[in-house]
């Protein structure tokens, strides 16, 4: 009986840890300057590492609808999904971007 309880707890523990880690991740939107112009992109990451992830975006490649590659030159600003950008240009671009 005790042995089966131990094994049951061992099976539940990884699931509980995964749920706790997933709760720390947040949906964010970023105002990007790319080789094709400006755009809004959506990501999911830990907020305490946001500056690191923003810095890593520069130089990353993306693909357009035709499969042609283009590059991110700069991540100007990243905010939580429900927040507004500080730049008027980014706010207007965000209004036109589909979710």
Q: Is the pLDDT of residue 6 over 60?
A: no
pLDDT band, residue 2 (cuts 50/70/90) = low
| Assigned domain for 48 exists | yes
| Assigned domain for 9 exists | no
| Assigned domain for 31 exists | yes
Q: Is 41 left (phi over 0), alpha (psi -120 to 50) or beta?
A: beta
pLDDT digits (tens, 9 = 90+) for 78-98: 999 999 999 999 999 999 998
| Assigned domain for 40 exists | yes
Q: Are 76 and 85 in contact (CB under 8 A)?
A: no
| Assigned domain for 37 exists | yes
pLDDT digits (tens, 9 = 90+) for 37-57: 999 999 999 999 999 999 999
- The total domain count for the chain is 1
CA gap 71, 64 in Å, rounded: 10
As a whole number of Å, the end-to-end CA separation of the chain is 51
Q: Are 64 and 74 in contact (CB under 8 A)?
A: no
| Assigned domain for 4 exists | no
Domain that holds residue 37: 25-96
Secondary element (H or E) of residue 7: helix 2-23
pLDDT, residue 24, reads 83
């Amino acid at each position: 009986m005790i042995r089966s309880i131990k094994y049951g707890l061992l099976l539940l523990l990884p699931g509980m840890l995964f749920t706790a880690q997933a709760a720390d991740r947040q949906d964010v939107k970023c105002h990007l300057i790319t080789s094709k112009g400006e755009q809004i992109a959506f990501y999911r990451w830990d907020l305490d590492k946001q500056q690191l992830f923003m810095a890593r975006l520069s130089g990353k490649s993306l693909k357009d609808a035709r499969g042609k590659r283009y590059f991110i030159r700069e991540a100007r600003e990243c905010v939580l999904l429900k927040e507004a950008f500080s730049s008027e240009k980014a706010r207007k671009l965000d209004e036109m971007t589909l979710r």
